[in-house]
Amino acid sequence: MKYNSAARLAKIFAKLMEMGNARWQDKSPTPGVTRIADLAYLADGNPYHLLDVYYPEGTPEPLPVILDIHGGGLFYGDKDLNQYYGMYLASLGFTVLVPSYPLTPPALFEEQVRDVFAVYRWAAEHGPEYYMDMENFFVTGDSAGAQLAAYTALIQENPDLQTLYKVEPAPVRIRALGLVSGMFETNKGPLSNLEILYFGENYQQTELYKHMDYAVLPGLETLPPCYLVTSAEDTVHVAVLAFVELLKKHGVEHVLHDWPKQKGVKLPHVFSVLYPRQEESVITSREMTEFFRKYSITMAGR
C-alpha cells in the first residue's frame, strides 16, 4: 500500500477508536490520587512530549514506579487516554507515569522508541521530585504500548539494537514488564497495511524492519520478567499466545492470564485499561502489581 493511502486508512482507524472510546471507556476517577499534569519530558514545546504523574494523596515516601505506555496502534491517542487507568494503578501503592508520544504519521516507530527512552531518562533525573523509588521501576503498556514497552526493554540490554535505533541505554533498570493485549505483530491483519507508516519507505529492505520479528530477534532472553494478559475476545489473542511461546523458548520468566469468555460480560482488547473498575480488570491489575512487587528489590531482600 502507498504511503498516502496508508495514512488515510490510519485516520479511519483512529476515528473508529475515538468513537469507541468515547462510547465505551469507563471515565470514573479513582478518589485519593494526586495527578500532576503536563510535565515536559522533552523541552521542545511538542504537546506529545508531555507526561502526567499520579500517586496516592499524602504519600510520605518514594513508591515503586510504573511507567504506563498507552496503546492506539501507534497512530491514535495520548496520555489522557489512560488517565483513569493511571489513577487506579496509583491507588494500588505506586507512582505512575503516563506519557504521550508523537503518533504515526508522521512519526516513525524508531522515533517513538527514542521518545520512550527520553521518558526513561526524565524519570531517572526527576524521580526524587515525584515520590519515585527508581530502584523499583516497572513498565507496562497496552496494545501498541505493550509493543513499545517490550521493545525498549530489549533495546536497553542490546548494544546492537541501541546502535540501530540511535539511542544510549537509559540510567534505569526495568525490573519487570506488564504487557496488556500486546500488539506484537504488525505484518498480519489490517495493521500490515500501515507498515509503511511505521517504518518508512522501502521499509522491507531496512535493518530496522528485519529486527522487528521477535522469532528471529537475538537477545530475547534479556527481557525482564513479564506479566501478560489477553482474553478469548481479544483481537490480538493469537499473537499474544505466540509471543508467550517465544518467551518459553528463550527462558524468560513470565506469567500469562488468558481470560476465557465470561458469562454476561465482554472482555475485549485491553479491557483492563478501558474498564479499570470491572471485576476482571481489578483482578488483572492486582495480579500485575503483585507480580511487580515480587521483583521489587525491597521484597526480594536485595
Domain span at residue 141 reads 3-300
pLDDT at position 190 is: 87
pLDDT tens per residue across all 302 residues of the chain: 689 999 999 999 999 999 888 778 999 999 999 999 999 999 999 999 999 999 999 999 999 999 999 999 999 999 999 999 999 999 999 999 999 999 999 999 999 999 999 999 999 999 999 999 999 999 999 999 999 999 999 999 999 999 999 999 999 999 999 999 999 999 988 889 999 999 998 999 999 999 999 998 889 999 999 999 999 999 999 999 999 999 999 999 999 999 999 999 999 999 999 999 999 999 999 999 999 999 998 643 33
pLDDT at position 299 is: 43
Q: pLDDT tens for residues 155-174? A: 999 999 999 999 999 999 99
Directed axis angle between helix 83-91 and helix 279-294, to 10°? 60
Cell 505484518 -> residue: 187
Give the contacts of 88 (CB within 8 A, at least 6 positions apart): 30, 276, 277, 285
Q: What is the CATH number of the domain that holds 289?
A: 3.40.50.1820
Query: What is the CB neighbour count within 10 angstroms for residue 75?
Result: 22
Domain count, the chain: 1
Tell me how far CA of residue 141 lies from CA of 44, 152, 300, in angstroms.
Answer: 25, 11, 24
